[in-house]
Structure 1
Amino acid sequence: MKQLTIPAFFLLLAFVAQAQGFTKIDAHARSTPFPQKQDTKALAQALSVGCTTEKEKVRAFFVWIADNIKYDIKSFENRSDTDPKEQEEKQNPQHVLRAKKAVCAGYSNLLIALCKESGIKALRVDGITKNYRGTVSRAGHAWCLVRADGTWGLIDATWGAGDVDFDEGRYHEHFKENYFFSP
């Protein structure tokens, strides 16, 4: 039992230490208002104030997106009735900033745009996931692969922002730390 307790303790300690290490960055991101225009460059610059590393900048982007962009349940539910080109247009960073809502592609595209404005390499990953019941979702999902300070990590701003209860058709805001720079 001791063998399991010690690694679990250090894993928990590392998780808490990471969260505490971003307290000031998170507070700054949460106090940064929406840009007056849908300008990713201005937003990236505003969020980068006080950041000394690439990872801190990416953290500010992640927190801001998670706190300010809402999940677009209607777009998700109507995706089969909408032209794919129109769907993708609604997920471009400027449209996401204007609408203040998106599906996973929009969350990812906005994070990538902010990273690009800051010279940070970021890629969108499109794939499939398992839902909370453990079954593979047929809908697909998008998240990001980001290289900050020489290290690659996975970031999912959509799942970091909250949860969608598709049975109820409701979005529940709930910031989740563990979707930032997952190994």
Structure 2
Amino acid sequence: MMKELLLGLFLMTGQFILAQIDQEVIDKVDTYPSSFSLYETLSERIITDFENDYDRAAAIYTWMAMHIKYDAKALFSGQVQRVAHFSYRNEAEKYQKEKALRDELARSTLKKKKAVCQGYAELYRLLCQACGIECEVISGYSRSHLNDIGKVRSEPDHAWNAIRIDDEWSFVDATWGAGHVDYKTRKFVPAFTTAFYAVEPAIFTYNHFPEEQEWNFTELTLKDFSQQPLFYHTFFKKDIELLSPMNGVLKKTSKQRIIIKFKTTRDRKHVFHYAFHGMKYMKDADVQRNGDVITLLIDAEGHRSGYLDIIIDDETVMTYKLRL
């Protein structure tokens, strides 16, 4: 039985994790046609133009994120939840029929140039395999909205990929790399980003958690994953690490102050602000520095519920939920 996975929820704002794709790869792929009739034509061109698996997998991600649109109409109409039924006599026949359905979804995505997350993931898999790159489709849970903080999903809602290069697994989400859905207009907004290519598991798990335990390369449980703050891709440009609190739902303060600690990973100076939702302007954070540890002291008086944005260098990097 083949299940076309769910909604593939999208980011409404910037998201997390900036990966490295050489600008030369992006520039080269930008010269490609916007459409290919056959996936073999695209994969052969990528094999010719790029010498190593990392750049080839990056080129596939780049072309897809630039040219495949998210099917917002299917999302809002509920047409994305479909199950294909078929009979089979043994496990080998079951596997072959499932693979045929998955490959057909991938080819349909290439032809129509639009899909929900499962279509993106299957096309990425097919193109990687055509380039000789080990690739799997992963189903699981995503976090992209404020109301996801502290909420444990009952069912998987998203699909992405795992690629293995030089015996190392990393994760790829071409769906989120393509842009986002504007939930007010119910339309897809193209916004190419390299942020979701070849992300190491420990970082990717900030906003993606696999359904199958074999793809969880961290110590996190689904509950742990769900209770984290909501991180945006801007956080990972700052070369800092969050030390505490790791729970995204803040339930107490110290003397009416919220205390947040970071560790710097490079010798960089940052400017820290904060904003409770509903405030007209952001405020300066009280910053204490002790070696490579940075402590923010935030006045929480009068704020008992809602959300708290942490802003570094004029970019919102993460959000906490308040239940004080």
| TM-score, length basis structure 2 | 0.46
1:179 aligned counterpart, secondary structure: coil
1:101 aligns with 2:101: no
Q: How far is the alpha carbon of 1:82 from its aligned partner? A: 5.9
The separation in 1 between residues aligned to 2:103 and 2:166, in whole angstroms, is: 31
Q: Indicate if the aligned counterparts of 2:174 and 2:196 stay in contact, CA closer than 8 A.
A: yes
1:31 aligned counterpart, secondary structure: coil
Q: How far is the alpha carbon of 1:133 from its aligned partner? A: 1.5
The separation in 2 between residues aligned to 1:73 and 1:84, in whole angstroms, is: 19
1:76 aligns with 2:107: no
Deviation per CA, 1:10-60: give whole Å up to 9, x if none: xxxxx68x34xx1111111121114552x2121111123321110000000
* Paired AA for residue 191 in structure 2: H
1:26 aligns with 2:26: yes
Q: Which residue of 2 aligns with 1:112?
A: 125
Greater CA drift, 72-81 or 139-148: 72-81
The separation in 2 between residues aligned to 1:116 and 1:81, in whole angstroms, is: 25
Greater CA drift, 26-35 or 62-71: 26-35
The separation in 1 between residues aligned to 2:161 and 2:80, in whole angstroms, is: 26
Q: Indicate if the aligned counterparts of 1:91 and 1:102 stay in contact, CA closer than 8 A.
A: no
Q: Which residue of 1 aligns with 2:47?
A: 48
The separation in 2 between residues aligned to 1:108 and 1:116, in whole angstroms, is: 12
Q: Which residue of 1 aligns with 2:171?
A: 154
Q: How far is the alpha carbon of 1:91 from its aligned partner? A: 7.3
Q: Which residue of 2 aligns with 1:168?
A: 185
* Paired AA for residue 85 in structure 1: A
Runs of 4+ in 1 over 4 A off after TM superposition: 88-91, 136-139
The separation in 1 between residues aligned to 2:72 and 2:80, in whole angstroms, is: 14
Q: Indicate if the aligned counterparts of 1:53 and 1:149 stay in contact, CA closer than 8 A.
A: no
Distance change in 2, residues 1:166/1:26 (3 Å): same
Q: Indicate if the aligned counterparts of 1:112 and 1:144 stay in contact, CA closer than 8 A.
A: yes
For the aligned residue pairs, the C-alpha RMSD in angstroms reads 2.5
The separation in 2 between residues aligned to 1:155 and 1:126, in whole angstroms, is: 12
Distance change in 2, residues 1:150/1:139 (3 Å): closer
Q: How far is the alpha carbon of 1:109 from its aligned partner? A: 0.6
Q: Indicate if the aligned counterparts of 1:48 and 1:60 stay in contact, CA closer than 8 A.
A: no
Deviation per CA, 1:73-119: give whole Å up to 9, x if none: 11222336864229x77971111111110000011111100011011
Q: Which residue of 2 aligns with 1:142?
A: 159
Unaligned runs of 5+ in 1: 1-14
Q: Which residue of 1 aligns with 2:59?
A: 60
* Paired AA for residue 130 in structure 1: R
Greater CA drift, 76-85 or 100-109: 76-85
Q: Indicate if the aligned counterparts of 1:107 and 1:158 stay in contact, CA closer than 8 A.
A: yes
| TM-score, length basis structure 1 | 0.79
Distance change in 2, residues 1:27/1:128 (3 Å): same
1:167 aligned counterpart, secondary structure: coil
Deviation per CA, 1:120-148: give whole Å up to 9, x if none: 11001101111231515667000000012
The separation in 1 between residues aligned to 2:71 and 2:156, in whole angstroms, is: 14
The separation in 1 between residues aligned to 2:156 and 2:185, in whole angstroms, is: 18
2:146 aligned counterpart, secondary structure: coil
The separation in 2 between residues aligned to 1:61 and 1:103, in whole angstroms, is: 17
Aligned length, in residue pairs: 164
Distance change in 2, residues 1:77/1:84 (3 Å): farther
